[in-house]
Amino acid sequence: NAGVTQTPKFQVLKTGQSMTLQCAQDMNHNSMYWYRQDPGMGLRLIYYSASEGTTDKGEVPNGYNVSRLNKREFSLRLESAAPSQTSVYFCASRKGPAQLVSTDTQYFGPGTRLTVL
Amino acid sequence: GDSVTQMEGPVTLSEEAFLTINCTYTATGYPSLFWYVQYPGEGLQLLLKATKADDKGSNKGFEATYRKETTSFHLEKGSVQVSDSAVYFCALSEAGAGKSTFGDGTTLTVKP
C-alpha cells in the first residue's frame, strides 16, 4: 500500500521557470491538500480539493494553480517560480468528504524539496 | 477563525525525562483534535487524536486529553527516548470547514 506519493522528491528551478508537482493517493480518499512548510512557519495550506471536481484556495494560494485530475491525483503548478517559493511541499489526503467529517486523519506524502534560484 | 497555539520550541530533554508540549485552540464549533509527528526528512504522520471532549488519545506512550473547558490538548509522555526526537504538530479539524488548522510545530530533541 503506497499511500500518498509525490514526485519529484527534489527540484532546483531558476526564477521564472515553471513546473508541476505531482501527487497521487491510492486510498480512495475524497479530499486532497497541498501545503508548504517553511522554517519557523509550520504548515501553510496552499490549495485543497474537498472532493473530485472541486478546488479551493487556502492561506497562501498566490503564485500557484492546482488541478484535481481525477479522484487519485492532485497536481500543483508553479507558473513562474520565484525565490520566495523555495520550500518543502507536502501533499495530503483524507477520506472525507471534508464538508461532513472532521474526525478523519490526514495522510501525508514524503514531500518535495524545491529550491528556486 | 480557527487557530492552534503550541508552546514554542525547541525543547531539549534527557532520555527518560517527562515531556509536556502545550497546545491550546480556538474554534467556533466542536472540533476534532490531533497530534502529528514529523521525523527528519519525512512527511507528517498521525500520532494520536481525540474527537470529543474528555476523550484521551494515546499511542506509543504518548497521551493527550481533549479539555473543552480550557480549550487545550497537551501532549505528554512519561519517559522520552532518543527515537522520539522529531517535530510535533497540534491540529484541529471542524466539520464543514473542509480543511485542518495546524500549529507551528514544536521541535523535540532527546539526548542520551
What tens digit of pLDDT does each residue of B48-58 get?
999 999 999 99
Place of cell 479539555: B67
- The partner residue sitting opposite A48, judged by closest CB among B42, B95, B98, is B98
Q: What is the mean pLDDT of residues B62-84?
A: 97
Confidence of residue A2 (pLDDT cuts 50, 70, 90): confident
Strand intervals (E) in chain A: 4-7, 10-13, 19-25, 31-37, 43-49, 56-57, 64-68, 74-78, 87-94, 107-108, 112-116
Shortest alpha-carbon distance between residue A16 and chain B (Å): 27
Q: What is the mean pLDDT of residues A13-36?
A: 95
Shortest alpha-carbon distance between residue B16 and chain A (Å): 27
- Average model confidence (pLDDT) for chain A? 92
Q: What is the mean pLDDT of residues A23-45?
A: 91
Would you say residue A115 has pLDDT above 70? yes
Task: Return the residue in A5, A36, A43 with the most chain B beta carbons within 10 A, the one to mutate for interface testing.
Answer: A43
- The pLDDT value given to residue B95: 74
- The pLDDT value given to residue A4: 96
Which residue of chain B is at minimal alpha-carbon distance from A58?
B99
Q: What is the mean pLDDT of residues A72-93?
A: 96
C-alpha torsion angle, residues B5, A41, B13, B91 (rounded to 10)? 40
- The pLDDT value given to residue B44: 94
Give the Cβ contact number of residue A25 at 10 Å.
22
Would you say residue A98 has pLDDT above 80? no
